[in-house]
A and B are shown apart, each in its own frame.
Chain A
Amino acid sequence: MDVMSSSLQQQRVVVDQLRREAAIDRQTVSESCAKMMKYITEHEQEDYLWTGFTSQKVNPFREKSSCTAL
């Protein structure tokens, strides 16, 4: 009986979980992907690893020039 009630309990958890997942609001892939692409476009200029620095001078990790002007 204990085995039965514990597996019943487990199955209830599974069903509750599925009920919650079934109840969520969803959008079409086209709508959602359009929003993601819009976000990416809006943040393109801040994305230095993608679009690079306007000048290497502003890259904090660039190698410092080894010669200095006298």
Chain B
Amino acid sequence: MNLNFTMIAQAIAFAILIWFTVKFVWPPLLNAIEKRQKEIADGLAAAQEGKLSLEVAAKKNAETLNEVKQKGAEIVSQAEKRASEIVEQAKNVANEEGDRIIASAKSEIDQEVNRAKEELRGQISTLAIQGAEKILDKEIDKKIHADMLTKLAKDL
């Protein structure tokens, strides 16, 4: 174990080996690893961003849904209101129509009644004359007594 030239040779070999590592081994490994680290960091950041935008979108969705629901409810309530209005209107119209029909029917009935009364009056006067003729047993001049009979019929 005496010191000799070996140690100088080993030192030179050592120097060459270090130079080789510094020059050719370390840089590509460092580059690859740092690049991958950056890629991973970028990927994570992108994922985070995506998550954030997803959250925003979900929030927006919920807002829109709420708005739509509200609008829908509004429309429904308006429609209900309109429907009840229409029903009310229809009722009024129907009532009026009914009243009108009833009124016209009443007037028609009145007319009919009057007409029947007229007819009855005429027939009654004829009957009365015939009865009187039979009772009196004597001919009565229709022409002379016509005025009196008409007056009688009117009183009936």
Partners in one complex: no
B residues near A, CB below 8 A? none
A residues near B, CB below 8 A? none
